[in-house]
Structure 1
Amino acid sequence: MNRRILSVVVIASATALASSASYAQLNLKQFGIGGGDSSSGNAATGAASAGGVSQLLQNYVGANQQVLAGQSSLASAMGLSGAAGQAQQAAGLLSGGTPSVSQLTQVGSTQQSLSQQLTQAFANGGGSSASGAIDKQGFSSGLESLGKGVSQYSSLQSSLGSVGQMNPTSLLQSGLNPQTAQAASYIAQSAPGQLQSLVSTLSQAVQFATSHGISVPSIASSALKGF
Structure 2
Amino acid sequence: MKKRALLISLLASAGTVAGLFASGAANAQLNLKQFGIGGGDSAAEASGAASPGGLSQLLQTYVGANQQVLSGQSTLASAMGMSSAAGQAQQAAGLLAGGGTPSVSQLTQVGSTQQSLSQTLTQASASRAGGAAQTPVNRQAFSEGLSSLAKGVSQYSSMQSGLGSIGQMNPSSLLQAGMNPQTMQSASYIAQSAPGQLQSLMSTLSSAVQFASSHGISVPSIAKSALGGAQ
Shorter-chain TM-score tier:
0.7 to 0.9
What is the number of residues matched between the two proteins?
193
C-alpha displacement at 1:87, in angstroms? Answer: 0.3
1:44 to 26, 38, 46: 38
Change (3 A) 1:182 1:167: same
| Unaligned ranges ≥5, structure 1 | 1-24
C-alpha displacement at 1:173, in angstroms? Answer: 3.7
Query: What residue in structure 1 maps to residue 186 of structure 2?
Result: 183
1:90 aligns with 2:92: yes
| 8 Å Cα contact 1:168-1:182 kept in structure 2 | no
After superposition, residues 14-29 of structure 1 pair within 5 angstroms as none
Change (3 A) 1:56 1:88: same
Deviates more, 1:47-56 or 1:166-175: 166-175
Q: Structure 2 length normalisation: TM-score?
A: 0.76
C-alpha distance in 2, partners of 1:102/1:75?
25
Q: Which amino acid aligns with 1:185?
A: S
RMSD: 2.8
Q: Which amino acid aligns with 2:28?
A: G
After superposition, residues 53-202 of structure 1 pair within 5 angstroms as 53-96=55-98, 97-125=100-128, 132-202=135-205
Write the deviation string for residues 66-100 of structure 1: whole angstroms up to 9, x where unpaired: 00000000000011100000000000101111100
C-alpha distance in 1, partners of 2:165/2:31?
23
| Unaligned ranges ≥5, structure 2 | 1-23
After superposition, residues 202-213 of structure 1 pair within 5 angstroms as 202-213=205-216
Change (3 A) 1:37 1:102: closer
C-alpha displacement at 1:107, in angstroms? Answer: 0.4
| 8 Å Cα contact 1:164-1:189 kept in structure 2 | no
Change (3 A) 1:174 1:196: farther
C-alpha displacement at 1:43, in angstroms? Answer: 6.6
Change (3 A) 1:193 1:171: farther
Change (3 A) 1:153 1:44: same
C-alpha displacement at 1:151, in angstroms? Answer: 0.3
Write the deviation string for residues 4-54 of structure 1: whole angstroms up to 9, x where unpaired: xxxxxxxxxxxxxxxxxxxxx9xxx9xxxx632699xx9735997111110
Q: Which amino acid aligns with 1:55?
A: Q
| 8 Å Cα contact 2:29-2:38 kept in structure 1 | no
Identity of aligned residues (%): 73
Give the secondary-structure state (helix, strand or coil) at the position aligned to 1:35: helix
Write the deviation string for residues 175-197 of structure 1: whole angstroms up to 9, x where unpaired: 21111110011011111111011
